[in-house]
Structure 1
Amino acid sequence: MKSSVKILITLIIITLFIVPAAAAGTQKEEVIYVNLNGDGSVSHVYAVNIFDMQTGGRITDYGSYYSVRNMVTTDQINVNGDEITIDTTPGKLYYEGDLGAAPIPWDVRITYYMDGVPYSAEDIAGKSGNLEMHIVITKDPSDTEDFYEKYALMMTVTMDANKCRNISASGATMANVGSDKQLSYTILPDKGADVVITSSVVDFEMDAISLNGIRLSLNVDVDTTEMEDDLTELSDGIVKLDDGAWELRDGVNNLSRGVGNASVGGYRIQSGAATLASGTNALSSGLASLAGQNAALTGGADQIFSGLLASANAQLSGSGIPTLTKDNYADVLTAVINSTGDPTGQLTQLLSQLTAYQTFYTGLVTYTTGVGYASTNATLLSSGAITLANGASSLSFGLSELNSGTNELKVAMVNLTDGTGELRDNTTGLDTKLTDKINEVLDPLRGGTGSTHSFVSEKNTQVSSVQFVMHTPAIEKTESEVPDDETEEDLNLMQRVLRLFGLA
């Protein structure tokens, strides 16, 4: 009872003084009072309609109410369906309309846990332990006038510091108000909230959670000149980056073509080197076989030469001519021929035969020696050709790998230019986009755009402001535990406030 009286007094003061006066020519303001249940669901909604009449006359208003009540005068309120008319004198007129459990723009859900066990708001009163409170606020599907997108919520959770210790409330502004800890949250338009409050509590009680919804009208201006200049410079740099990426892409394409041609040439070199290695190997084998016959050839030729000399010496035996050898036959026969004139011509013929065979023999020795050298060099050539073939194979493989890498690089360059092109497109006019985005963020803080819509009825087109005042019941032990003298004191206080404002 004590808490309910405090809430009612607070609502009266908010209605009469906190609600700003209507601007000139404005017909109406609305203050929507919402009684929430302990879990945040809507219990009851009342609309207080405020008219500032400069002159007497008829007020015409619209709203589907269960009942209406003139709060400040005795002027008759006439109800015809959803049309309300009042004939009144100059001054302010307040009348209240009962909207029942009408949906509101915000879906509020409050859950309580004590030592991990869930409790309702009614059952958790008087409990002790580790408290955890969750408050989740989202958009209610019934909101068709964009109150959720345009209105900010000021939420206040007040906790008795004598009963609640070690309070943790991320995102809250915490202040000492007497013996209480007041947790204040500012929930911006179109944001909602997910609040967690924890505390160690003893004999837990808590005042009502209050939420006030207002359309912000903050004079927020941001000088974006310097940022716009920086973004223009950034945009220009991105253009250069995109141009450079395309130039690099062209260069990579040229490189790829060159490497591709080199790869083909490397394969041809590999193939030719392999053929050369095969040919030199065959040549080396053939010369080696031929060189293996050298000793037999030269030996046979030497035996034939020796046989010719032996036959000649046998024919010349007893002629007084010295024995002929490989080394002296030419000198001996020449000397005899010169001295005798060789009347028969036999010595001259013998000299010719022996000289011819000597020439053949010398040529044969030269030939076999050449074959030996050729065989040795062919072996070296074959070894070199094999080394060349192996190198050409490695070169071809490397060029193939390089070609594969440049092809992958080509694909990467396509992706790069696609990315820089997209970046270029998205950053064109970035300075303007920044200004638009800042205005998009700040517009709700500035009050948004468009006229104020009536919460009560779309037929009310002359509405200067709409304010929401919401609260949950206080969490307190049963009224039987509250001393009667405190209850009486609160009722007397309420009567004094009502008389002060001329309401009682």
Structure 2
Amino acid sequence: MRKKRILLVVLAISLILPSFLVVAENNRKTGDITAKAIEIDGELASKDEVVYANLHANGELHEIYVVNTLDVAKQGTIIDYGTYDSIKNLTDLSEIERDNDTIRINATKGKFYYQGNIKDRELPWDISISYELNGKKIAPSELLGKDGYIKITINTSANENVDPVFFEHYLLQISLTLDPDMYHDIEISDGMVANAGKNKQVTFAVMPDHEEELYLKADVLDFELEGIEIAAIPSSFAIDSPDIDEMTKEMKSLTDAIKEINKGVAELRSGVSNLNKGVSSLRNGSLDFKNGMSEMDQSSGELVHASTSINKALATISRSLDDIPGGIDISDLENIPEGLTQLANGILETADGLAKLSENYTLAYDKLGNAIAAIPSYEINEEDRNSLYMSGADPAIIDKLIETYTAAQIVRETYSVTNEAFTGVDEILETMSGSMEGMGNSLAFVSHELSSALEGMDDLESITQLLEGLAVFSANYQEFHAGLVSYTKGVGQLSNSYHNLHVGIVELSTGTATLEDGVGELYDGTNQLYEATSELPTQMQEEIDRMLAEYDKSDFDAVSFVSPQNEQINLVQFVMKTESMKKEEQETNEIQVEEEKGFWIRLIDLFRG
């Protein structure tokens, strides 16, 4: 019976054992994930990685090792990942198991540190460092102990072969330590120079997602250089938006002021346009007036010549009264009325021309007055000008505004001063026209009466009366002739003087036309300025938000540098340093003796004082 039971047990074992061995073999070959999961009985709270990189003096990578800090929340087995060539426990003397990229760590609760050395791995940044001595490039190995003017150039850019997340979110801080006994007259690009003990500390910062070219220049004696340190940390600090309410309020005031200026310039443009039209009409009327004066001046000679002939004839008649009747030829008298009529017609035509000229001048003068009155009288003070210049508008446009405003005010002031003179010209034209018309009518009347008298003469008594009347008329005509000569001289002087006045009016017309064009350009500029600044407060806030968003990386979630399988990453930092370029220190005999002393001798030396 007992043998039968043993046989059944052996049979059951024989049935189960083959399948168990197969499963065990499969687990051994494939690495059963379930088994591993069962082995992970510890709990990891977070992990930090500090990536140390040693660089050559020119910035090329020499070696990388990573110090991993595990914050263990529960004692037990922890799994970490990383493609390391070798690992070292920095916490205790226990062994760390490594299976390819999988690291098994039996850790107690608290911080656990271990180091992993990496080969054939690149950094997220391409760093290039070059050196120049006295303007010529030089290899770092040839610099030691040299004197001269040194330039160190550091270029940083993205390494396209590495995950860009680090380049896009990490801030680089580059530091150089300089001995002031060696380095003098230090000059750097964007950076900071500070005292660090007896040394000078030069610090550069490279913002995330930016490539930079940095340089340091100095006079150096007996060149040496400590290793250049480069730290990279995530720019994960949040940037609060500044309070710009007061600034936007001031910007709103500036925008309102620009709006008012633009409105004023629009009114100025309208006024200057009317001014230009009025001055243009004045110029045309002045041209007609000048031409009329020239014609009058040119015809004055003919008037004087005709008047001289009449005056001579009358004088001859007057001298011949003593020879009545035989010395008088009636046919000679018949020519006098015709001459008087021609002279009267010429004077009346001149009077008519002066009347039309006076009318045109009055119209042009009224238009000019209306145009001048349309120029705005507001004042742009120094504060308004400074506000414009501080607004960021094109200074050339502002200069045109000030120049145009000044010119417009000069036009107003000039017109106010010369207004009386313009009024005087109008009055002179009216007086001259009336005088010429009266003179012409008087001559026409005399001509008519003389012609009628000559037709009715039939006896000696009538001729005698006529001759006596002509003698009186001759005496009076001499005064008229003298007045006519004076008048023609005055016309000549007026013509010459008015030519200069007309030249001034033409220059004024040219100036107002240029002024109108300038004010038009100015209005386009101020209108563009207003449109550009009308939304300035909003645009300023948007620009601030855009700039803050560019540098605010507070939403960045840390990722592992060594393996994407690692989770619960708290912080990843990079610490890079170039090799130092320093002279080797000579060992002294005293140091050699010290090294030869044993432990007990050195211990006794401590108590010897």
**Does TM-score exceed 0.5, indicating one fold?**
yes
- In structure 2, relative to structure 1, the CA distance for the partners of 1:155 and 1:365 (3 Å cut) is closer
Q: Is the 8 A contact 2:44 2:73 kept in 1?
A: no
Q: Which residue of 2 aligns with 1:424?
A: 534
How far does residue 206 in structure 1 lie from its aligned partner after superposition?
4.7
| Aligned: 1:147 with 2:166 | yes
Paired residue type of 2:216: V
- In structure 2, relative to structure 1, the CA distance for the partners of 1:114 and 1:392 (3 Å cut) is closer
Aligned residue runs from structure 1 range 22-421, under 5 A: 26-56=45-75, 59-68=78-87, 70-72=89-91, 73-79=94-100, 83-86=101-104, 88-91=106-109, 92-112=111-131, 118-125=137-144, 127-130=145-148, 132=150, 134-142=152-160, 144-158=163-177, 164=182, 166=184, 168=186, 171-176=192-197, 181=199, 183=201, 185=203, 187=205, 189-190=207-208, 192=212, 194-196=214-216, 198=218, 200-202=220-222, 205-215=224-234, 224-225=242-243, 228-294=244-310, 296-302=312-318, 304-308=320-324, 350-367=460-477, 369-421=479-531
Aligned counterparts of 2:131 and 2:593: Cα–Cα separation in 1: 28
| Aligned: 1:436 with 2:545 | yes
SS across alignment from 1:380: helix
1:471 to 572, 577, 587: 577
SS across alignment from 1:122: helix
Q: Is the 8 A contact 2:276 2:513 kept in 1?
A: yes
- In structure 2, relative to structure 1, the CA distance for the partners of 1:280 and 1:456 (3 Å cut) is same
1:451 to 557, 564, 567: 557
How far does residue 361 in structure 1 lie from its aligned partner after superposition?
3.6
Aligned counterparts of 2:505 and 2:131: Cα–Cα separation in 1: 76
Aligned counterparts of 1:118 and 1:366: Cα–Cα separation in 2: 111
Q: Is the 8 A contact 2:169 2:234 kept in 1?
A: yes
Greater percentage in helix: 2
- In structure 2, relative to structure 1, the CA distance for the partners of 1:360 and 1:466 (3 Å cut) is same
Q: Which residue of 1 aligns with 2:427?
A: none
Aligned counterparts of 2:539 and 2:587: Cα–Cα separation in 1: 67
Q: Is the 8 A contact 1:245 1:420 kept in 2?
A: no
Partner deviation per Cα, 1:57-87 (whole Å, 9 max, x = no partner): 55444444455555553131122xxx52425
SS across alignment from 2:57: coil
- The aligned length equals 417
Q: Is the 8 A contact 2:195 2:201 kept in 1?
A: yes
Aligned counterparts of 2:163 and 2:309: Cα–Cα separation in 1: 113
Aligned counterparts of 2:509 and 2:62: Cα–Cα separation in 1: 81
- In structure 2, relative to structure 1, the CA distance for the partners of 1:367 and 1:165 (3 Å cut) is closer
More displaced 10-residue stretch of structure 1: 255-264 or 134-143:
134-143
Paired residue type of 2:467: Y
Q: Once superposed, what is the RMSD of the aligned Cα atoms?
A: 4.0
SS across alignment from 2:557: coil
Q: Is the 8 A contact 2:96 2:103 kept in 1?
A: no
Percent identical among aligned pairs is 17
Residue ranges of structure 2 left out of the alignment (5+ in a row): 1-42, 329-457, 600-609
- In structure 2, relative to structure 1, the CA distance for the partners of 1:206 and 1:269 (3 Å cut) is closer
Aligned counterparts of 1:167 and 1:384: Cα–Cα separation in 2: 79
- In structure 2, relative to structure 1, the CA distance for the partners of 1:211 and 1:359 (3 Å cut) is closer
Aligned counterparts of 2:201 and 2:224: Cα–Cα separation in 1: 15
Paired residue type of 2:48: E
Paired residue type of 1:456: V
Q: Is the 8 A contact 1:26 1:463 kept in 2?
A: no
Q: Is the 8 A contact 2:559 2:569 kept in 1?
A: yes
Paired residue type of 1:302: S
Q: Which residue of 1 aligns with 2:402?
A: none
Aligned counterparts of 1:197 and 1:249: Cα–Cα separation in 2: 53
SS across alignment from 1:46: strand
SS across alignment from 1:277: helix
How far does residue 264 in structure 1 lie from its aligned partner after superposition?
2.2
- In structure 2, relative to structure 1, the CA distance for the partners of 1:449 and 1:48 (3 Å cut) is same
How far does residue 261 in structure 1 lie from its aligned partner after superposition?
1.3
SS across alignment from 1:27: strand
- In structure 2, relative to structure 1, the CA distance for the partners of 1:305 and 1:135 (3 Å cut) is closer
Paired residue type of 2:525: N
Aligned counterparts of 1:216 and 1:260: Cα–Cα separation in 2: 64
Aligned counterparts of 1:488 and 1:474: Cα–Cα separation in 2: 27
Residue ranges of structure 1 left out of the alignment (5+ in a row): 1-23, 313-347, 494-504
How far does residue 368 in structure 1 lie from its aligned partner after superposition?
5.1
Q: Is the 8 A contact 1:245 1:417 kept in 2?
A: no
SS across alignment from 2:52: strand
Q: Is the 8 A contact 2:266 2:523 kept in 1?
A: no
TM-score (norm 2): 0.58
How far does residue 422 in structure 1 lie from its aligned partner after superposition?
1.0
Partner deviation per Cα, 1:258-287 (whole Å, 9 max, x = no partner): 122113212222221123213312431112
Paired residue type of 1:84: T
